[in-house]
Copies of this chain bind each other. A is one copy, B any other.
Amino acid sequence: MTKPRTGYIRPLDLKNGQVDMTHGSGGRAMAQLIEELFLTAFDNEYLRQMNDQASFQIPAGRMVMATDSHVVSPLFFPGGDIGCLSVHGTINDVAMAGAVPLYLSASFILEEGFPLADLARIVESMANASRQAGVPIVTGDTKVVERNKGDGVFITTTGVGIVPHGVNISGDLARPGDAIIVSGTVGDHGVAILSVRENLSFGTSIQSDTAALHGLVAAMVAAVPGIHVLRDPTRGGLATTLNEIARQSGVGMMLRETNLPIRTEVRAACEFLGLDPLYSANEGKLVVICRQEDADALLEAMRTHPLGQDAALIGEVIEDDHHFVQMETAFGGRRIVDWLTGEQLPRIC
């Protein structure tokens, strides 16, 4: 790589500077932003190729590819920010095929006037998340739009990964009798975002659970290679994710409310706000469906991982031509856990 020649203009003012339209024009200012901010933070051998694409060796096999745009508001929230969220979110989508995530791309749409200090903080958070996960950001893009045509920063990440031989995980593989397990408490991310957006203070601090789940998934696949379904219940929460799977697999589900792990403070916040934690987004949790006889081994493997300590068996897959997700309530009744119809929380991720 040629040493960046950025001495010809003043260094970026990462303290008081702002994004302006020249940062998206393809010229010198854009090259400077990329070199002084993105390349410096994400530094790796692939980005150093300095081409419009990254290049890497891959083994033959089954690859997965996943993409997510992130528009979360506010950009900074308890437990994370749009930067680490955009890394975790796409790593998790790749991992939910049982795959080992290998590489990420990141594309930024910046609003004119956005403080460079905030951008630097976000980029640093992405870089940390990427390093901790061991999944490098190998290529990217930057665009700038005028004031009031964007909202600070939107980040689209795409990931690729390789599925280990013999692993075949898909949303259409849930079978009646299968066990339904969740990796931990549900609803944290959505409630964390809403609390800060509504400027609520409950005397407790509810943090987003944003985290990369590929390490947990690797431990799970090692323990039970024959996992049927894996999915991260993000937008729409656990309820929506289970309805998607029920429909895809052509089955029903029966949950047990008393088994659902929900933090006390999340439950309290939800009651206060009129929300249902089953529909509140998660960014560091997964749902797994496996044969009943594999459930104990899987739960044990999950509980020995830091991100699966609160793993719980929450129900089972049943036959149902209507593909309903039902729940035995704490009071002994039953209710349908339907799709989220409207909007619970906009711009949650």
A interface, CB within 8 angstroms of B: 1-2, 5, 21-22, 24-31, 49-71, 93-94, 96-97, 99, 103, 105-109, 138-146, 148-151, 154, 156, 158, 160, 163, 170-172, 231-232, 234-237, 240, 244, 247-250, 281, 323, 339-347
Contacts and interface: CB of A to CB of B under 8 A. Distances in A.
Contacts of A150: 149-151
A29 B340 CA distance: 9
B25 A247 contact: no
Given A58-B61, A160-B160, A339-B27, A66 B105 contact: yes
26 contacts: A2-B248, A5-B323, A22-B342, A22-B343, A24-B346, A25-B345, A26-B235, A26-B236, A26-B340, A27-B240, A49-B172, A52-B66, A53-B94, A53-B97, A55-B63, A56-B65, A57-B61, A65-B139, A66-B139, A68-B141, A69-B141, A69-B143, A69-B156, A145-B347, A150-B150, A156-B156
Nearest to A67: B105
Contacts of A344: 25, 27
A234 B106 CA distance: 19
Count the copies. 2
Interface of A is mostly: mixed
Given A5-B323, A52-B232, A65-B160, 9 more contacts: A24-B347, A26-B237, A26-B281, A49-B172, A50-B171, A51-B97, A69-B142, A69-B156, A105-B158
B25 A346 contact: yes
A187 B266 CA distance: 56
- The 9 tightest CB contacts between A and B, nearest first, are A26-B235, A26-B236, A27-B340, A53-B66, A158-B158, A156-B156, A67-B105, A60-B60, A149-B151
A109 B86 CA distance: 14
A96 B237 CA distance: 41
Given A61-B58, A240-B27, A109 B340 contact: no
A347 B67 CA distance: 23
B59 A60 contact: yes
A27 B5 CA distance: 49
Contacts of A163: 55
B105 A51 contact: no
